[in-house]
């Protein structure tokens, strides 16, 4: 009897220790800011866009960022590929809400690059633009957001094309 109890005791402690050792660090989740803006058809956009998808890739670009624009066709390919997995791609043209000219320019860029995923022109009066976008110092910058509207981990800064594994790993984390 003593032997059985001893074995049980050791087993329980071993399992607990192994469980502790295998404990993975949970990814950081930061609420995505309240979106204030319109899409390229002029429709208002809110954070509801996240709820219908297991994850959403949000790519921030601007009219003056040649490299952001250059990689749009590849991001469109991600959009086509990921849409089959219920993962969405959304662009934010950060300066496209600053004037009618910028808005039209952004629309032309998107049309020329064959972009079909949703793009947002932020409302320049809103906190989304003034507090969140203003803090973005490098372009392109990409966030992965889960279906609850939380940013998973850190932003992916720089060309997305060269960070395929990082993007896919982050998307996987968002959908787990």
Answer yes or no: are the C-beta atoms of 50 and 148 closer than 8 Å. yes
38 touching other proteins, by CB under 8 A: no
Nearest approach, Cβ of residue 82 and other proteins (Å): 18
Nearer to other proteins, 56 or 63 (CB): 63
User: How is residue 82 written in tokens?
Assistant: 């990921």
> How many Å apart are CA 115 and CA 1, to the nearest integer?
71
> How many Å apart are CA 35 and CA 46, to the nearest integer?
5
> How many Å apart are CA 34 and CA 36, to the nearest integer?
6
CA angle 56, 60, 64 (to 5 degrees): 155
Nearer to other proteins, 38 or 157 (CB): 157
Q: Which stretch binds other proteins (CB under 8 A): 39-47, 67-75, 80-88, 115-123?
A: 67-75
Answer yes or no: are the C-beta atoms of 107 and 40 closer than 8 Å. yes
155 touching other proteins, by CB under 8 A: yes
Answer yes or no: are the C-beta atoms of 159 and 67 closer than 8 Å. yes
Nearer to other proteins, 34 or 70 (CB): 70
Residues 77-136 that bind other proteins (CB under 8 A): 95, 99, 101-102, 105, 108-109, 112
Can you give the binding site for other proteins, defined by CB under 8 A? 1, 5, 8-9, 12-13, 16-17, 19-20, 23, 25, 27-28, 30, 62-67, 69-70, 95, 99, 101-102, 105, 108-109, 112, 137-138, 152-159, 162-163, 166, 169-170, 173
């Amino acid at each position: 009897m003593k032997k059985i109890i001893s074995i049980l005791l050791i087993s329980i402690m071993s399992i607990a220790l192994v469980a502790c050792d295998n404990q993975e660090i949970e990814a950081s989740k930061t609420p995505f800011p309240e979106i204030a803006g319109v899409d390229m058809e002029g429709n208002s956009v809110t954070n509801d866009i996240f709820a219908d998808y297991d994850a959403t890739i949000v790519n921030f670009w601007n009219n003056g960022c040649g490299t952001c624009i250059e990689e749009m066709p590849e991001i469109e390919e991600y959009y086509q590929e990921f849409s089959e997995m219920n993962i969405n791609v959304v662009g934010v043209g950060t300066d496209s809400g600053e004037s009618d000219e910028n808005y039209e320019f952004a629309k032309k860029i998107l049309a020329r690059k064959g972009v079909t995923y949703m793009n947002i022109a932020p409302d320049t009066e809103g906190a989304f633009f003034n507090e969140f976008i203003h803090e973005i110092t490098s372009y392109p910058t990409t966030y992965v957001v889960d279906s609850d509207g939380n940013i998973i981990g850190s932003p992916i800064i720089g060309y997305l094309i060269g960070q395929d594994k990082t993007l896919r790993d982050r998307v996987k984390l968002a959908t787990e």
